[in-house]
Amino acid sequence: MPNRQLDTTYQGARYEYATTLSLSALASVIPVPRPEDYGFDQICNLVDIKEQLRYQGTTFGVQTKSHTKEKLIYGGKTDKGDQKYWEIQWLFRRDIPLLISSVNLKPFCLKLYSTWAVWHSYWMNPTNYNRKVTFILDQIPSNDGDDRWMSYLENPDKPDESIVYLGPPIIKMDSPTPNNTKTELLRKCLRFWVDFDMINLKFCKLGIPFMYTVKDWVTDQTPNLSQSSYIFWNEFQDIRVNLLKTLYPMIIALEKDFEVHSDTKNIDRLQGIKEILKDHGYNL
């Protein structure tokens, strides 16, 4: 429309500008043009700096929201009652980790949230895209066990509507230009969360019903992986096929490594697994 635009559109763009500027201190950031926005406002790459040179790391995407938004909803139904399955397909079929940026412009504050816990929701019913997933920012589940970050039902009578708590932010920036010491601390923390989520995303892509977890974390600090992990087994379609397909190249590589190191004891131990693979049509 010549000479005018919606003010809400402009204000939304300002939040995106703030995210782009702030994250550029920690990573390589490319703002996504509106016509190309299919779910990410920024495409970013982790950056390693060695001897004044910058090296590209893991890629991740960011969705930017105003600090007034306490939740984000994917899926559910349109005003006409149609299931927004395409949003759930995007959420679970994407190729890179998704982080949520919550921005307050005055006073300035940017909070970054990892969505790693969403994979629990996926594995509980991986073939169903006709559902709703609600991300809750800043809240911690009352459950304090190792399974505290599992997905929760929004309503016991609606098993296709789940809540995923994102917990506290993984990073908080009170200035878009932190000092060098703070920047390096935040970059290290960000690297953990992005790489951690990428591992679980790869399990999803490979069809392996498993995810690593984190029990607790403190904003701006690199956490530790939990001693517990989730293994899901709900009679998923083709699960054995997926596992054997993934195992096959690993066994070949592992056997070669044992041969190089003359580790005959462990070569013999692989024979049982090789027989299972042969029984399922793999040529070893």
Q: Number of folded domains in the chain? A: 2
Domain range for residue 92? 7-234
Q: Does 77 share its domain with 212?
A: yes
**Model pLDDT for residues 88-121, shown as the tens digit of each residue:** 999 999 999 999 999 999 999 999 999 999 999 9
Q: Does 110 share its domain with 149?
A: yes
Q: Does 176 share its domain with 205?
A: yes
pLDDT of the residue at 229: 83
DSSP letter string, 219-267? TTS-----S--EE--S--TTHHHHHHHHHHHHHHHHHHHHHHTT-HHHH
Burial 131-147 (b: 16+ CB within 10 A, else e): bbbbbbbeeebeeeeee
> Position 194: which residue type?
V
Cα dihedral 153/120/92/127 (nearest 10): -70
Q: Give the domain-ending residue among 216, 234, 252.
A: 234
Given a cut of 80, whether residue 8 has pLDDT beyond it is no
Q: Does 194 share its domain with 104?
A: yes
Q: Does 257 share its domain with 169?
A: no
**Model pLDDT for residues 18-37, shown as the tens digit of each residue:** 999 999 999 999 999 987 88
Structure tokens belonging to residue 129: 């895209």
pLDDT above 90 covers what percent of the chain? 70
Given a cut of 90, whether residue 158 has pLDDT beyond it is no
Residue written as token pair 């504050």: 109
Sign of CA dihedral 202, 207, 164, 224: negative
The pTM assigned to this predicted structure is 0.89
Q: Please indicate, yes or no, if residue 284 is contained in any of the structural domains.
A: no
